[in-house]
Chain A
Amino acid sequence: MKKRMDCLRRYLGLLGLFARYSLMEQMEYRVNFAAGIAVECGYMLIKLMYAFLILQAGVSLNGLTSWEMLMCVGTYILITGLFMSMYPNFCLLSFSVRDGSLDMLLTKPVNTQFLVTLRKLDFGMPIPNVLCGVALIVYGWQGAGLAVTVTGIVGFVLLCMTGLFLTYCLFLIPELLSFWFVSNSGVHQLSEAVRDFDNVPMNVYPKWLQRLGIFVLPVFVITNFPTLYVARKLSVPMTIWAFAAAALVFALQRLVWKKALRRYTSANG
């Protein structure tokens, strides 16, 4: 147990160092840092367009009020924002595989996946998303007239964290395909498109698509479950499924990761 804690402390320390170095690096390129935030704001505009359409409609759709749907969109924006902080590593991965710059990372006595996927942390891009996401969630929560309880908040946060973890695992897998193929931009685009299904709450979709997005490719778990939980519309088995799905996808992702490293050919850049 003590060993576990030591290990955790060490990795958190490393993460802190990565954060510090990344921030220092980004401060070297301040114009780009600002541009990153600006463009991310533009991105958010798209998501707000969906929120606007839903709120403007102002009706209940398949069991969710428009306020609750607004919370779902807010959750999507929030989790996407948090995910954006590690996103640079995901983008870099296929480059590093192709030009062999992964080499040095593979020789370090720390968990390679930790090093490869969390080494660069972005601080600009999450800012607008997190602020706006939280604002939408709070606004929707109030509008929907849902009770503010400790269990509600704890459950919501816990499910959001599970969602973030799911996002990390789920969308790392397509990036790992770059170990097999020269170019994985097609898969990358496809996975982005899949993630965009969360732009609107899942109750907009027909039942078969909802089941697909919950049980097969659990993207709907990420952004709908926290709100459903707070609105008391999430059954106990479904709540358990949220965590089970995260564990399953994590196991799958680790499997692919290990297979991928075996395929690494270390090009000479």
Chain B
Amino acid sequence: MKLSGYGCIFGMGLQNSMVYRADFFLSLFSCLFPVIMQVYLWTALYRVGAADTSGYTYEQMILYTLLAGITSRIVSTGFELEVAQDIKEGGLNKYLVKPVNYAGYYFARFLGGKAAPVGFLLAVTAAVLAGASAVLQIRVEPLRWVLYGVSVILALALNFSLFFAIALLGFWLTEIRQLFGTISIVVMVISGGVFPLDIFGPAAAVLSAVLPFGYTTQFCVNIVSGRLGMQEIGTGFLVQLAWIALFTALHTVMWKRGTRRYTAVGG
């Protein structure tokens, strides 16, 4: 299939995400809530001087909370349910007979579904950060914003390949669908989407540097918050690329094995 074909699928993804207009705005709105909750929690804890946060200042922590809420939303997926459904109920057949790469199809649709929310989120981000930096008096170099953008693009690819591999587990675990909601939340948390993981001690800091999850959110956010030096940022990019390659290889193998094993459940 030609690139224009994937472009068309991208367009369909975009349309789909907007047809469900109420959903679209509500889910954007709902990502605000945990951020509000955390801001209040940190404000309360810092006010009584009780937060032991391994070097995060109040301003850094609030900035982290805001940005992590948005970033984790940008990279979040949601197609895994559909993929597993296809596997379980035989919907895969219609892709197997088409000259289309299934992973490519979903990646195009995933990006298409992202375009509108991300556009909107970027506007929100700009507004929030303008407000926050005025209130908290934080200054961020423009270069770091550019690097943040690059890291988010890589994070999107990484999160896609990660969740696609998880979705393909549906070949072996037929009822896995019920777990996706939970899995994605857990991944979000160990990605640093709620708290920066390094506040939970040195062990957590090491884990977040070694495991792939941190590179979908925490790494991106810490580029902006200034916790990372330029050299660390460079290494981070390489690690992101390495994980993308690894998970792509993994889901390619899983796809091959899975389709071989796949028996369509007839109606």
Contacts and interface: CB of A to CB of B under 8 A. Distances in A.
Decide if A and B touch, CB cutoff 8 A.
yes
Contact of B178 (A32, A43, A46): A32
Contacts of A206: 40
Interface in A184-228: 184-187, 189-190, 192-194, 196-197, 199-200, 204-206, 209
Interface stretch (A51-59, A131-139, A246-254): A51-59
A32 B34 contact: no
A197 B173 CA distance: 33
B27 A45 contact: no
B134 interface: no
Interface in A44-83: 45-46, 49-50, 52-53, 56-59, 61-62
A29 B29 contact: no
A73 to B, nearest CB: 12
B41 A204 contact: yes
Contacts of B48: 57, 59, 61
A88 B31 contact: no
A183 interface: yes
Interface residues of A, number: 43
B222 to A, nearest CB: 18
Interface in B168-225: 173-176, 178-179, 182-183, 185-186, 189, 194-195, 200
A46 B40 CA distance: 17
Nearest to A61: B44
B176 A190 contact: no
B137 interface: no
Contact of B40 (A43, A45, A187, A204): A204
Contacts of A146: none
Contacts of A59: 48, 50
Nearest to B194: A46
A182 interface: yes
A39 B173 CA distance: 14
A40 interface: yes
B24 interface: yes
B30 interface: yes
Interface residues of B, number: 36
B186 A196 contact: no
Contact of A190 (B27, B44, B186): B27
Interface string A21-36: 0000000010110011
Nearest to B179: A39
B261 to A, nearest CB: 15
Contacts of B185: 43, 46
B174 A200 contact: no
B52 interface: yes
Interface in B131-175: 173-175
A36 B37 contact: no
Contact of A46 (B37, B45, B179, B186): B186
23 contacts: A29-B174, A31-B173, A35-B173, A36-B178, A42-B182, A42-B189, A46-B189, A46-B194, A49-B200, A56-B52, A61-B45, A62-B44, A88-B178, A185-B20, A186-B24, A186-B26, A187-B22, A190-B30, A193-B31, A194-B30, A196-B34, A196-B37, A200-B41
Interface of A: 29, 31-32, 35-36, 39-40, 42-43, 45-46, 49-50, 52-53, 56-59, 61-62, 88, 91, 181-187, 189-190, 192-194, 196-197, 199-200, 204-206, 209
